[in-house]
Structure 1
Amino acid sequence: MCQFIKKALFTLCLSIIMLWMYQYFNPEHSIINHEHYGAGYKLNAPMPSRSELISKLEKHKSQSEDEFDVLIIGGGATGSAIALDANSRGLKVALFEKEDYSSGTSSRSTKLLHGGVRYLKKAMTNLDASQFFLVREALHERYLLFNQAPHLTNFIPLITPIYSWSEIIPTFIQLKLYDWIAYPHLHDSYFVSAEEASKLFPMIKKEGLKGAMIYYDGQFDDARTNLGLILTSIQRGVLSLNRFGVVELTHNSTGKLNGAIVKDELTGKTYPVRANTIINAAGHFADDIRLMDDATSTKLLQAASGIHIVLDGKFCPANEGLLIPKTKDNRVLFLLPWKGKTLAGTTDSPSPITNNPKPSEADIQYILDHINMYFQVKVSREDVLSAWSGIRPLKKATEEKDTASISREHAIYTSPSGLMTIIGGKWTTTRSMASDIMEKAIKQSPQLQERIIGPPFTDRIKLVGGEEFNPLYVKKMKLDPIIAEHLNSVYGDQAYLVEEIALKEGRTAKLHPLYPFIEAEIIYSIRYEYAVKILDILERRTRIQFIDTKTSSSLIPIISQIMAEELKWTTEQKTAEEQEVHKYLQ
């Protein structure tokens, strides 16, 4: 009992210190001016086609004096956020992504918009102020992203089971502190009895259960939010192209960067692009771009892999998640309802850098083992419907550390030639990361200082689909209610365009009886979302590949047929595209 009291008092004192720090440092962030978060900036400009964007690039090529203010390498979460930030300042921006938007780690997250309860625990345990500020910033950004993309975000209650009486007060204080620094917050955390916890999450192990804390966090669709940032920036005038890789960085006579050579990965054609500032946001391939600039560069990245598995929806209530508070290696695991299934993850292990990281059987079993430690029923390998791995591009530690202990703060580096590289960070803080690197870019470039028209206002820009989003719009739709609900939650106020294609072009058929995805979505993704490959549809426009691998394989023929008709593929092209997907899935 003496130890219990000491632990509780220690946690309480730490909480008071952290709250004082919260108010003392950067106090302007403790109050949000709601007048800034109104209806956003609506744009009625049509979305340019891929061919129109390439024509724009051709025009740039033919005008030798034309120059972009900012060229961004990488179309993941960070690159797309930088593009929108730079555009909002009035700058002329180009972005190039070698694969598809969000084809890397940005589509392979835990789908949480969160401050990070484990980072807060680390801040309290180690008296680490940097971790505390990281959590506070992320919770502020979580609120802003909810406003930007209301159709792609939602709050979710998370149950944290407690199996020791001595953990009740420290857990209560930690999660209450999490509430307090998340201003504004919609729901307060609270304690429930063991009996109530079992009712809320029936699968949870009852033996030894003392109770549970319920707290709230954000959930989102990562790949489609990434796409929303890209579409919004394109609609605002950014020249952005996927399947365009940077193959060379060019320098002037003094050795300073002045542009790049980009290659259309579909046709092999190359284009010179001139730019004042080049930002490397290539994620786990950031070091490759740095070596392209300077072959003698030292590596900055420490890659870590995180895997997730998908189980049947029966393992998780439809509207509640579970936080497994402690693993064998002192991490946390989440079980979350997602797309009608149960998403579980993640791991944190050193990883080689590769374009298509594979989830190891050992990591899959690691997640299953910990689920079974907290579940009443046995979850086996046969229950896994899908598994995927993402690579976190962490800044290299100055000393030997396990990857889980490396800070998730971002870092910015500028090479002697002027190449700016950003690594680290997390999905929730991409907007503030983008602002940070653009402030540094402007500070070091007199030309950019002359070109900007004002500070960024990305906190007030609604993403495409979110401007006039209305959850009740489904009642006006003429499609099956389940399909209508799906379209409204995925496409927001653009759902009417998908419905229009479905009804006018006879594309109302489901791709698979078990899922609400319909044929019209494939056509919409090609016409309005720059999908050019079968995997673009399977993984990032519909997410089928992420929730059910076996089903996604069975859909390849119908998807390739519709894409062949829309994109005018030859028989040889169609066969090659199908073979490429099968090889990837194997």
Structure 2
Amino acid sequence: MHTSAPRYDGDCVGLAFGVARPREGGAPPPARWADPDVHGAPAVSYLTESRMGDEKAGASWPDTWVTRWRIFPARALGRARLVAAIVAGGPTVAAPISEHPCSIVDDFGIVLVEGSRYGKGDRPLPALSVSVLPSPSRPMSKVPFFCFIFTPFAPFCSSRSSPSTPTSSIADRPTARRRRRSIDRSVSFLPPDRVRRIRFASTRTTKAPSSAGSAPTLPPPAVHAMSARFSKAWRPLAAATVVVVAAGAVAYGRTGKRHAHDRALVDVKRDANTGRIVPPTFPRVRSRAEQLAELRRRQGRGKAADEEYDLLIIGGGATGAGIALDAVTRGLSVALVERDDFSAGTSSKSTKLVHGGVRYLEKAVWNLDYSQLELVVEALRERRGFLDIAPHLSSSLPILLPLQRWWQAPYLWLGCKTYDLLAGSEGLESSYLMSRAKALESFPLLRRDNLVGALVYYDGQHNDSRMNVSLALTASLYGATVLNHVEVTALDKDDRGRICGATVRDRMADAGSGAAAFSVRAKGVINATGPFTDAVERMDDPSRKPIVAPASGAHVMLPGAICPQGMGILDAATSDGRVLFLLPWQGMTVAGTTDNACAVEAEPVARDDDVDFILKEVSKLLEPKMVLGRDDVSATWSGIRPLVRDPKAGNTESLVRSHLVTVSASGLLTCAGGKWTTYRQMAEDAVDEAVRTFGLGPAAVPMPDISGAALDGFTTTGACRTRTTPVVGSHGYSTSLPSQLMEVYAVDGDVAHHLATNYGDRAWAVLGNAPSATARIAPSFPFIEAEIRHGVRCEAACTAADVISRRTRLAFLDVEAALAALPRVVDILAEELGWGDARRQQEWTSTVRFLRSMGLEEERLPVTRAEVLRGQGLALTRKKPTRRVRDAAPLTATEDGVKTDGLTGALASGA
């Protein structure tokens, strides 16, 4: 078999442009035709034919494989044009270099495609080998790498020969002379000085006739087509690729939306005559006493259907409150009981992030773990909804990743862009690179050694405890019975051994009839107790194996001067390989976290070695002269993560923060695991399972308007609607709310901002119920006495710990300031709740003991009320100076909050 050969003077480049097996009965194409110029170079297409099987048998046309070649004069193509021709020429040129190793030396001047056919019958298995012929004038180091990685044909290529295929490999020839002669014959159209070592997968050489005086001819190599299967699929594959790329570009283009609520859902009203703002009024919140009476009414003494709840939820953290809101807005009757306070456990002791999890994304890529990727995608979807339904309690937060080496930039940039792309239309602002100067401007204390720049990406941040309380209040306003400080002592079962309710006890009741336990009937009981999941499951079945792997996460509170520009830092390379966050929050700086296996306890204390570890890692991020010590820490806490146990995982850091919904044989539904960001999805999954398991039929119940602006309510349909249901306080919130509060009540600017961003539009109720109670409970913080009274009347606050740690966040910001404010807090609670002297003393003792879990030194536990009152003026001054390398400066109280003179001085000096 032979073919016409191209005639060119000088160097030529041969590119295979698709190989095809013609259909049976089809007419053969012409042997030669002219093509328009390609990249400025004249091109001629040729067809080479290779008959399959025994050449002596005289195979007919349908058994012939055709290769379309394009021959380019190499001198007419510059480097860029040659590369473009290779890429445009199709993947046949760019076969996988790993499967077809080429003798690549210091340059490529000519690209030659050799093909061989393996297999038999109607399913040929083609193989391609890319041979790169070097040129001494062009170093191989400058060859663009992407020429060899654009390989859509790779799955159809193979370098392994079939024993049934009659081939004669060059490597099988006896002498190097014959081998070199064969190579020269295969590329005889090239000048000899341009030919170097070529490595073929397999070849079949045939001679092509030539005439005297004619230019060297190109013998037809045994080039065989791609399989018929692929020849039919490449066009749809290319179209699908274009569609996917276009869709990705559109999705990414829709990211980068700024999270801001400049306009409220409900506008404030002004008096038509005076123009003054008329403070809105809101629906009355049922008191704790009223809800407790409703719970007692359903003690199961009668057979009436209205005495039985559809669902009884045990646990008032993020998961339990989310389930209560989801269920009640579907038309179910719901009761929730919490042994302590809403968010008293893990839900108030988080890192304050609403995030998808960049760490999980990295694990998903490196470990090829699809479950990690699913968690990231789910969390990114939930993140946006979280910020939308609670705009006053959450916001987007820029987080900086310092770059210590240039090679880190493309790696981290690609990771952050993937993070943005996975969020799609639900994304926040887009990530971007930052210069070294800008990074130091945002973080003046950032270590300068080896700093080459930074990368900034966006995640969400929230006020966790306030969010938890808002979820519980929203569920209550829609009709759920939601009670804190009510303990479950046993699970009730019917004659068949099925759970039909629980026995509960009011822990706030005085000794007597009020403290007696009583039963609550329910069609289904849900266990949403976080780290205490196993304890509740053992109430159902003492032999149940634990499903929770508790892990402690320690955090420390540092001066706000470390993050002065409202931007956080992520250290992705701590000494133990974990990540560390340094985040601005409530005017201070949160640093954490650790991740260690631990025992479950009600009030865990951050371990000394965990605190020291965090301080050491944070100090590595700062200038060498800024050495953080224990005296820079204003508060510490440790939250217990309820990770779902994986018997294959050796440590808790490797566990996925996914959730689990299970139902026991007796009907106890358990929802465990997860994290704050995905609380809503967890609740939806749990209620879906409860409806199926307990045979619940959600009723069409008209829901009231809770906005206070006479908006239309809604009627439940049984479908989940929490993705778009705003929590209490968000309807009338906007960024102009602080100025409106200042206009009406003449409060300080920081107080107005604090009230707006902690209560939303309910800030009007906080100030309206106690307009004269604007005195601060701590001089350096914006918390006022009116919040204590509002917490008792409208938010079920029952103890001083409820007030100083979960209605306000004073204990999390500065434990010494919380201790100094405790006498006044107890006095106001006594006025609101009618406490006597004995109850006051009991409250003092229990609250000081609670402050130990917030970082209060153990030797301070015996402190008395009188001692604190005598030293109240010095409560915010540290006993020891801040430990620094060059000088010492104490933490002092100022109008702007607690700060370190040393840090402020360093900022002023540009250190």
TM over 0.5: yes
Q: Contact conserved, 2:698 with 2:718, CA < 8 A, in 1?
A: no
Number of residue equivalences: 566
Deviations along 1:230-283, one digit per CA (max 9) or x if unpaired, are 000000000010000110101111111111111101122222111111110001
* Change over 3 Å in CA distance of 1:20–1:162 after alignment to 2: farther
- Structure number, greater radius of gyration: 2
Give the aligned residue type for 2:476.
I
1:215 pairs, out of 457, 462, 483, with 457
- 1:270-289 paired onto structure 2 within 5 Å: 270-289=517-536
Deviations along 1:94-117, one digit per CA (max 9) or x if unpaired, are 000000000000000111110011
The residue aligned with 1:360 is 607
The residue aligned with 1:469 is 733
Deviations along 1:511-556, one digit per CA (max 9) or x if unpaired, are 1110111111100000000000000001101110011011111111
The residue aligned with 1:580 is 846
CA distance in 1 between counterparts of 2:648 and 2:470 reads 38
1:519 pairs, out of 767, 785, 791, with 785
The residue aligned with 2:593 is 346
The residue aligned with 2:297 is 59
Q: Contact conserved, 1:394 with 1:424, CA < 8 A, in 2?
A: yes
Q: CA deviation at 1:424?
A: 0.8
Please tell me whether residue 489 in structure 1 is matched to residue 738 in structure 2: no
* Greater mean alpha carbon deviation, residues 161-170 or residues 306-315: 161-170
Q: Contact conserved, 2:313 with 2:336, CA < 8 A, in 1?
A: yes
The residue aligned with 1:233 is 475
Q: Contact conserved, 1:43 with 1:235, CA < 8 A, in 2?
A: no
Please tell me whether residue 385 in structure 1 is matched to residue 634 in structure 2: yes
The residue aligned with 1:77 is 318
Q: Contact conserved, 1:69 with 1:448, CA < 8 A, in 2?
A: no
CA distance in 1 between counterparts of 2:358 and 2:619 reads 22
1:442 pairs, out of 686, 691, 705, with 691
Q: Contact conserved, 1:155 with 1:218, CA < 8 A, in 2?
A: yes
2:559 pairs, out of 312, 315, 335, with 312
* Change over 3 Å in CA distance of 1:510–1:450 after alignment to 2: closer
* Change over 3 Å in CA distance of 1:251–1:450 after alignment to 2: farther
CA distance in 2 between counterparts of 1:334 and 1:213 reads 15
- 1:58-137 paired onto structure 2 within 5 Å: 58-61=296-299, 63-65=302-304, 66-137=307-378
* Greater mean alpha carbon deviation, residues 343-352 or residues 438-447: 438-447
CA distance in 2 between counterparts of 1:213 and 1:371 reads 18
1:499 pairs, out of 767, 784, 791, with 767
Q: CA deviation at 1:90?
A: 0.5
Give the aligned residue type for 2:572.
P
Q: CA deviation at 1:195?
A: 2.1
Q: TM-score, normalised by structure 1?
A: 0.92
CA distance in 2 between counterparts of 1:128 and 1:550 reads 45
Q: Contact conserved, 1:43 with 1:236, CA < 8 A, in 2?
A: no
The residue aligned with 1:420 is 669
CA distance in 1 between counterparts of 2:850 and 2:827 reads 19
* Change over 3 Å in CA distance of 1:43–1:132 after alignment to 2: farther
* Change over 3 Å in CA distance of 1:298–1:448 after alignment to 2: farther
Give the aligned residue type for 1:543.
R
Q: Contact conserved, 2:649 with 2:655, CA < 8 A, in 1?
A: no
Q: CA deviation at 1:44?
A: 5.5
Deviations along 1:311-337, one digit per CA (max 9) or x if unpaired, are 011111241111111112221111111
Give the aligned residue type for 1:486.
H
Deviations along 1:207-229, one digit per CA (max 9) or x if unpaired, are 11121101111110000001110
CA distance in 2 between counterparts of 1:333 and 1:129 reads 24
The residue aligned with 1:457 is 721
Q: Contact conserved, 2:331 with 2:699, CA < 8 A, in 1?
A: no
Q: CA deviation at 1:454?
A: 2.0
* Change over 3 Å in CA distance of 1:561–1:230 after alignment to 2: same
* Greater mean alpha carbon deviation, residues 234-243 or residues 58-67: 58-67
1:537 pairs, out of 778, 781, 803, with 803
Give the aligned residue type for 1:517.
F
2:545 pairs, out of 292, 298, 301, with 298
SS at match of 1:444: helix
SS at match of 2:550: strand
CA distance in 1 between counterparts of 2:849 and 2:721 reads 43
* Change over 3 Å in CA distance of 1:39–1:514 after alignment to 2: closer
The residue aligned with 1:34 is none
SS at match of 2:399: strand
Gaps of 5+ in 1: 32-36
Q: Contact conserved, 2:733 with 2:761, CA < 8 A, in 1?
A: yes
* Change over 3 Å in CA distance of 1:487–1:510 after alignment to 2: same
1:406 pairs, out of 630, 655, 662, with 655
SS at match of 1:552: helix
* Greater mean alpha carbon deviation, residues 384-393 or residues 573-582: 573-582
The residue aligned with 1:190 is 432
Q: Is the helix fraction higher in 1 or 2?
A: 1
Give the aligned residue type for 1:52.
E
Give the aligned residue type for 2:500.
N
Q: Contact conserved, 1:161 with 1:325, CA < 8 A, in 2?
A: no
The residue aligned with 2:383 is 142
SS at match of 1:337: strand
Q: Contact conserved, 1:318 with 1:340, CA < 8 A, in 2?
A: no
* Greater mean alpha carbon deviation, residues 385-394 or residues 161-170: 161-170
Q: CA deviation at 1:463?
A: 0.5
Q: CA deviation at 1:438?
A: 1.2
CA distance in 2 between counterparts of 1:315 and 1:39 reads 36
SS at match of 1:545: helix
Give the aligned residue type for 1:467.
H
Deviations along 1:370-401, one digit per CA (max 9) or x if unpaired, are 11111112211211110000000111112251
SS at match of 2:723: helix
* Change over 3 Å in CA distance of 1:472–1:63 after alignment to 2: farther
Give the aligned residue type for 1:415.
S
* Greater mean alpha carbon deviation, residues 71-80 or residues 50-59: 50-59
Deviations along 1:156-181, one digit per CA (max 9) or x if unpaired, are 11110011222111100000111112
Give the aligned residue type for 1:67.
E
RMSD between superposed Cα atoms in Å:
2.7
Q: CA deviation at 1:87?
A: 0.8
SS at match of 1:154: strand
Q: Percent identity?
A: 38
Q: Contact conserved, 1:106 with 1:427, CA < 8 A, in 2?
A: yes
Gaps of 5+ in 2: 1-140, 153-240, 256-260, 267-279, 510-514, 701-715, 853-911
SS at match of 1:412: strand
Q: Contact conserved, 1:325 with 1:333, CA < 8 A, in 2?
A: yes
2:485 pairs, out of 215, 238, 243, with 243
CA distance in 2 between counterparts of 1:39 and 1:456 reads 22
Q: Contact conserved, 1:443 with 1:449, CA < 8 A, in 2?
A: no
SS at match of 2:298: helix
The residue aligned with 2:396 is 155
CA distance in 2 between counterparts of 1:454 and 1:393 reads 30
Q: CA deviation at 1:575?
A: 1.1
Deviations along 1:384-441, one digit per CA (max 9) or x if unpaired, are 1100000001111122511100111111121100101111111000001111111112
CA distance in 2 between counterparts of 1:115 and 1:492 reads 25
Q: Contact conserved, 1:501 with 1:507, CA < 8 A, in 2?
A: no
CA distance in 1 between counterparts of 2:794 and 2:788 reads 10
